[in-house]
Amino acid sequence: MKNGGYAEDPNPADDKTIAELRGVTKRFGDVLAASDLNISISEGEFLSFLGPSGCGKTTALRMLAGFEAPTEGEVFLDGALVNSLEPHHRPVNMVFQQYALFPHMTVAQNIGYGLRQRRPRLPKAQIAEKVEKALDVVRLGGFEDRKIWEMSGGQQQRVALARAIINEPKLLLLDEPMAALDRKLRKEMQIELQDLQRQLGITFVLVTHDQEEALSMSDRICIMREGRIVQTGSPQELYDRPTSRYVADFVGTSNFFNGTVTDTSQPLYTVVLDNGLQVQAPPVGKFSDGQEVCISVRPEQMKLHRNGEGQSVHIQNRIFLGEHTEYLVRHETLGDFLVLSPRQSEMNEGPFSVGDMAQVSWEPGTTLILDRK
């Protein structure tokens, strides 16, 4: 960051806390937008708030930016309490959902906007130099004098990105930045964003409802629901060890079967499913005998055989996905669920066609016992 250079700190991952929400609650009139949020953000990390619309993720972001003040609780930035500090005094910058580029300014004027607000004023030549550098970083060299409306959606997003990073903020906030892009462009931008984040060492906080986006880019994900943080962890942790049905459902795809715990004496608890089937599975959290739970089985953990052990099912639908084949199967009492069959197993067992009978089995260790909520 010093000397105006961008690529100076190749290893930003130390554990210094750069921002923190402590018991933060936000009410808009009677509406509870965010409730008791606790999260600390480390310097240099890529954190995502993930959840459906209206879950409070954007409110959390806006409180970090300073557009909203918390009703209760404390917001810290770089060690200082900033609850009521106005946005223009905060060392954070935001990339807005629709980019919010100034339509009456050129690309270069947009990008230099933040630098032009500095007092004492920066020399014009210095601003121009930094603008040029920022344009190079987002690969838009030569577009200085273009009008905003002459740029494509992807280019506009890069301008918005350049306009934010040129200020070398402590925190870069991204509010659904990919929502307006088409699928292919979105993939490209995801990779580019990740590269950029590593290159600059700036802490990124992303808000998204797209689980794929959050999983592929973030160091850590904060899953939100109805104004609360449900679980925070690395993508891997959330996928492998979800603490609730909600998270298991939101991160990746999973099949859920309701049942009741009957034996907790072994490391693998015994659960009797609603159809009477007895299964073993590891618990996430504490459960007692007789508690109503659900077990979660990922489609890729299920195996399909011909004439093997397991539950008999009818193949309902088959979707070829290249490396995998996705089957929708119907069990007499468990209902419909998904099975993802890898290419290798398809070769061995032969592809199943719609209407075929097959057996489904899974390793107990790959499933989870979860709260029904």
Partner 1 sequence: MRLYAACVYLFLYIPIGVIALFSFNAGRHASQMQGFSTKWYGKALSNPFVMDALETSLMVAFSSALCASVFGTMAAVALQGIKGPVRTAFDMLIYIAVMIPGIVIGIATLIGLVTVFDQLNPLIATLWPEGFEPPKLRMGMGSLIAAHTMFLMALVVIIVRARLAGMDRALTEASSDLYATPMGTFLQVTLPTIFPAILAGFLLSFTFSFDDFIIAFFVAGSETTLPIYVFSSIRRGVTPEINAIGTMVLAISLLLLITAQLLLQRGAKKTR
Among 71, 96, 275, 328, binds partner 1 (CB under 8 A): 96
Number of residues that make up the chain: 373
Q: Which stretch binds partner 1 (CB under 8 A): 38-46, 93-101, 316-324, 337-345?
A: 93-101
CB of 54 to partner 1, least distance (A): 19
CA angle 188/193/195 to nearest 5° reads: 100
113 binds partner 1 (CB under 8 A): yes
Taking the C-alpha atoms of residue 12 and residue 16, their distance in angstroms, rounded to an integer, is 10
One of 114, 177, 227, 242 touching partner 1 (CB under 8 A): 114
- What is the C-alpha to C-alpha distance for residues 33 and 41, in angstroms, rounded to an integer? 21
Strands 203-208 and 46-50: parallel
Q: Least distance from C-beta 77 to partner 1, angstroms?
A: 13
Question: Rounded CA gap, 332 and 30, in Å?
Answer: 46
Neighbours of 104 (CB within 10 A): 8
Piece in contact with partner 1 (CB under 8 A), picked from 44-52, 63-71, 252-260, 284-292: 63-71
As a whole number of angstroms, the distance between CA 236 and CA 128 comes to 43
Question: Taking the complex as a whole, how short is the minimal distance between the CB of residue 222 and partner 1, in angstroms?
Answer: 22
Is residue 28 part of the contact set for partner 1 (CB under 8 A)?
Answer: no
Contacting partner 1 (CB under 8 A), which of 93, 156, 296, 341? 93
Segment interacting with partner 1 (CB under 8 A) among 72-80, 100-108, 256-264, 302-310 = 100-108
List the one residue from 67, 81, 145, 332 that touches partner 1 (CB under 8 A): 67
Q: Which residue has the tokens 């060392």?
A: 91
- Which of 18, 47, 60, 65 touches partner 1 by CB under 8 A? 65
98 binds partner 1 (CB under 8 A): yes
Q: Residue 25 and residue 35: Cα distance in Å, rounded?
A: 4
Shortest distance, position 99 Cβ to partner 1, whole Å: 8
If the CB atoms of residues 89 and 286 are measured against partner 1, the closer one turns out to be 89
**Which of 32, 85 has the CB closer to partner 1?**
85
Q: Tokens 């000397």 map to which residue?
A: 3
The residue among 118 and 124 lying less far from partner 1, judged by its C-beta, is: 118
Residues 121-180 that bind partner 1 (CB under 8 A): 163, 167
Q: How many CB atoms lie within 10 A of CB 120?
A: 4
Burial grade of 371 (CB within 10 A; 0-12, 13-18, 19 or more): middle
* 295 DSSP β-pair partners: 257, 369
The residue among 160 and 284 lying less far from partner 1, judged by its C-beta, is: 160
102 binds partner 1 (CB under 8 A): yes
Nearer to partner 1, 115 or 297 (CB): 115
SS3 246: helix
Q: Least separation, in Å, of the C-beta of 117 and partner 1?
A: 4
H-run or E-run covering 133: helix 124-137
User: Rounded distance, CA 224 to CA 55, Å?
Assistant: 6
Residues 243 to 272 in contact with partner 1, rule: CB under 8 A: none
Least distance CB 49 / partner 1 (angstroms): 18
Q: List residues bridging with 289 in a β-sheet.
A: none
Q: Between 64 and 302, name the residue whose CB sits nearer to partner 1.
A: 64
Specify the pairing of strand 46-50 against strand 220-225.
parallel
**Inter-axis angle of helices 183-200 and 124-137, to 10 degrees?**
120
If you compute the radius of gyration of the chain from its CA atoms, what whole number of angstroms results?
Answer: 25
Q: Which residue has the tokens 């990105």?
A: 161
Kindly state the number of chain residues that form the binding site for partner 1, as judged by CB under 8 A. Answer: 24
59 lies in the binding site for partner 1 (CB under 8 A)? no
Q: Residue 98 Cβ, how far from partner 1 at the closest point, in Å?
A: 6
Chain residues binding partner 1 by CB under 8 A are 65-67, 86-89, 92-94, 96-98, 100-104, 113-114, 117-118, 163, 167
